[in-house]
Amino acid sequence: MNYLRSHTSASERLFTRRQTLLLGLGGLTGLGASTLAHQFMNPSFNLTQPTLNPPTLNNFNFASLGNTPLRQRAANKGLIYGAAVRQYAVSSDTQFAQAVVRECAMIVPEWELKWNFLRPTPSTFDFGPADWLFNFAQTNGLLFRGHTLIWHEVGALPQWFGSVVNFRNARQLFLDHITTVVNHYRGRIHSWDVVNEAIHIPDGRSNGLRNTPWLNWLGEDYINLAFRTAAQADPNAMLVYNDYGLDYDTPQDEAKRNAVLRLLERLKAQGTPIHALGIQAHLIGGETRFNAQKLRNFLTEVANLGLKILITEIDVTDNQLPINIQARDQTVAGVYQDYLATVLNERAVVAVLNWGLSDRYTWLTEFAARSDQAPVRPLPLDDQMQRKLAWNAMSNAFNNAPLR
C-alpha cells in the first residue's frame, strides 16, 4: 500500500488537523503530524513572515570533526544514534543503505509497522516489508525498534478500519493487534512506541487526552491496557510513550508538557509497565522561542519518575527559511546544536533518532514542501549522502555530551 496515497484519500474523507492546515496554507503541498500541527495550533507563529534569526553555532570548529560516524560518537557517550528508514529506499538504493550502516546503530521502520501497512484485512497481517528491514538490521549489526502499536491518525490506519471497528469488537481487535505484532519480534527488538500522540490540549479534556476512536471505544484506560498487553507479549522490550509538541517556550507546548507529565505520573502510579518517554522533536528552522532551561526542567521531571527518554524523530523544517542553501544549512545546524546540547545534558536521554537520515528520503518533501520548489534540507545528510552542517552540529553535540 502506498502510504502517501492512502493518507491523502483518508484526509479527503475526514476533516483532520492536516486538512485544516492545508486549507489555511494554500502554498504548502501538505503537512505532517507534528511540526506543522504545532505551527497551526500556535496562533502567534507567523507563517508568512517567520522569525529568521539563525541561532548561534556556539563557535564550534566544524572544520575539524574528522570522519567518525554519528553512531560511534554517540556510543562513546553511552548513547544510541539511529534513524527511521523506508524499506523500499534501503532495498533499492545501495548508496543510501551504505550510509545507514555507516552512520546508524539503530533503525526504525518509518511506515512498515503502522496499521495500514501491517493489516491488509481485519484478519490478516503482512510483515513482509518490516521483516525485510529487521533482517537488514540483523545482518548489519543494527538495533531495531518498533513504531507504532497504537495511533489514532487516519492516514496510518487501513481503509477498512472505519467500517469494521466498533464498540463490540474494538477491544479484541486492539488486544489481538498488539499481541500479534509484539510477539512477532519478541526478544529481538530494542523498544516499541506503544502509544503515539495521545495528548491533544485543544480537544478540551481536563486530563489533556486526545479524542480518538480508542478513547471512545475503550475509555481512558486504553493507554494502560496497551502497555500491559505489550509487556505481556514481550517482557524484555523497552516500552515507550511517544509524542510531539514538547519543545518550545509557547503556551501550547507548555500545556502539552504538563499534560504529558501528568499522564506519565498516572501511568507510573497505577503500575503500568512504561519505561520511557519518546520526544519526537520535529523542530522548526527560524523558530526562536526555545527555552533551554524550561525544556531541561521537563526532562528532569520525567527522569525523576524513573523513566528513560528517547529523542525519537528529530528533524528541522526549513520551508520558511531563505532559499540560500548556506543560510538554510546554518540555521538548521544551529537548531540541532542548541536542542541537542540541552537534551543530552540529561543523562536519562539514552537515544537520538533522526526521522530519516538523508534529504533524499524525508517526509517533509511531501508534507512541508517549500513554495519556491527548492528541495528541503532537514537532515544530517544531503540528497547525495554528503554530510552537512547538521551532521557537524550533531557530531559536536555527541562529542560534548556527558557520559552515560
Q: Which residues are catalytic?
A: 197, 313
Nearest to 317 by CA among 47, 7, 15: 47
Residue that has been written with the C-alpha cell 554530510 in this structure? 387
DSSP 56: P
Tell me the angle at which helices 389-400 and 325-343 cross, rounded to the nearest 10 degrees. 20
Strand pairing partners for 284? Answer: 317
Q: How far is CA 335 from each of CA 122, 338, 371, rounded to the nearest angstrom?
A: 43, 5, 22
Distances (CA, A) of 172 to 119, 175, 176, 217, 229: 15, 5, 6, 11, 12
Buried b (16+ CB within 10 A) or exposed e, 285-311: bbbeebeeebbeebbebbbeeebbbbb
CB atoms within 10 A of CB 30: 20
Type of residue found at 217? W
- Work out the number of other CB atoms within 10 angstroms of the CB of residue 108: 28
Give the type of residue at 384: Q
Nearest to 187 by CA among 144, 137, 135: 144
Sign of the dihedral defined by the CA atoms of residues 143, 100, 247, 333, in that order:
positive
Query: What is the C-alpha to C-alpha distance for residues 296 and 309, in angstroms, rounded to an integer?
Result: 12
Residues 6+ apart with CB under 8 A from 198: 152, 209, 210, 212, 215, 223, 241, 243, 263
- The radius of gyration of the chain from alpha carbons, rounded to an integer in Å, stands at 20
